[in-house]
Each structure stands twice: as C-alpha cells, then as structure tokens.
C-alpha cells in the first residue's frame, strides 16, 4: 500500500492546501494530512480544532486520513508505515525553504523521500498567514478557504 504524508500547520487550511490534497490523493492509496503541533507558535486554532476543520474540508476525498502529531516528522512518517512526505509549493521562495528541510530530513533519515507539488496558479498567492491578516481587517476570504470553515475563521478572529 502506498501511503503519503502531507504535514503542515494548516492554520487555517486554504483552498491551495485542498488543491494539493486532491491531486496528491491520486498518487497514493492513502494520503495522511498530518497537523503538526509546534510549541513555538501561537496558532489561531488548536491542533484538535485544525484536525477537525481539515476533516470537514476533506470529506470529498475518500482516501484521506487527517491526524495530528508532535515530534520528529521522519519518526511520525515511519509510524504511519510510509517513507514519503508530500510538500506543497506556491513559489520559488517556498522551494528554497522546503528543499533545505527535505535535505535535513534526508540526512537524518536516508530512507525518507520528499515529493514537491506546485499548487495551482489560482492559489499561488494564498497563504494561511495572508488569510488571517485579510480576515482580521474585514477582508473577504470567500474562495480562498473551504466554504465549510470560512465562518469559523472569521468568528475566531473576531474573538481575538
């Protein structure tokens, strides 16, 4: 069975993320979308909330499983019986950062492989941080995040 792991913070999940999930899911029998808990960040949503939001946003993709994890990525990927990491890229600047991370993981664990996928040009400008900033100042995020979570993002930012 071919299992791919697509890790990230997904705070919040965007339509660009969904584009990658939909396309990557065709390459694997199972695609695990793994929400990373980074203790150094203060996310808009808790890890548990992000897992739930991702489950809601990916119900249309039958071979996706959403999970949360903390710790070393290579150890998590192995625990899921995989050695393939899927990373989405929006621009050349993403590639430089992700390429360095992939080389570091490969150095730590030579069995790990990283697959890079470019998002659709429709979403190349969309980032979670950009979504939060836009929504914080009252801008419309319709079409940039999955419809099922749009209101939750707006409400959470109003609470802050």
- The predicted-structure confidence for 40-88, as pLDDT tens digits, reads as follows 888 999 999 999 999 999 999 999 999 999 999 999 999 999 999 999 9
Per-residue pLDDT, 38? 80
**Residue 104, pLDDT above cutoff 80:** yes
**Residue 101, pLDDT above cutoff 80:** yes
Which residue segment(s) compose the domain that 36 sits in? 3-159
Q: Of the residues 25, 50, 82, 128, which is catalytic?
A: 128
17 given a catalytic annotation: yes
128 given a catalytic annotation: yes
Pairwise CA distance, residues 8 & 50, whole Å: 10
Q: Of the residues 25, 50, 82, 90, which is catalytic?
A: 90
pTM for the complete prediction?
0.94
We report the CATH number of the domain holding residue 53 as 3.40.50.620
Per-residue pLDDT, 100? 95
Under the banding of pLDDT at 50, 70 and 90, the label for residue 19 is very high
- 141's CB contacts (< 8 A; 6+ apart) are 131, 134, 135, 150, 153, 154
Q: Of the residues 2, 41, 147, 158, which is catalytic?
A: 41
Q: Tell whether 37 is in a known binding site.
A: no
Q: Based on the structure, what is the number of domains in the chain? A: 1
Q: Tell whether 66 is in a known binding site.
A: no
């Amino acid at each position: 069975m071919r299992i791919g792991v697509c890790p990230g913070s997904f705070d919040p999940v965007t339509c660009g993320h969904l584009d990658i999930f939909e396309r990557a899911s065709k390459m694997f029998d199972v695609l695990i979308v793994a929400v990373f808990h980074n203790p150094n960040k203060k996310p808009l949503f808790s890890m548990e909330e992000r897992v739930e939001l991702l489950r809601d946003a990916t119900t249309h993709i039958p071979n996706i499983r959403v999970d949360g994890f903390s710790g070393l990525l290579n150890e998590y990927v192995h625990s899921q019986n995989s050695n393939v990491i899927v990373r989405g890229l929006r621009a050349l600047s993403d590639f430089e950062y992700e390429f360095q991370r992939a080389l570091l993981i490969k150095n730590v664990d030579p069995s790990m492989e990283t697959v890079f996928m470019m998002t659709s040009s429709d979403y190349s400008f969309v980032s979670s941080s950009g979504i939060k900033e836009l929504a914080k100042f009252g801008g419309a995020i319709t079409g940039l995040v999955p419809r099922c979570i749009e209101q939750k993002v707006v409400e959470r930012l109003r609470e802050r």
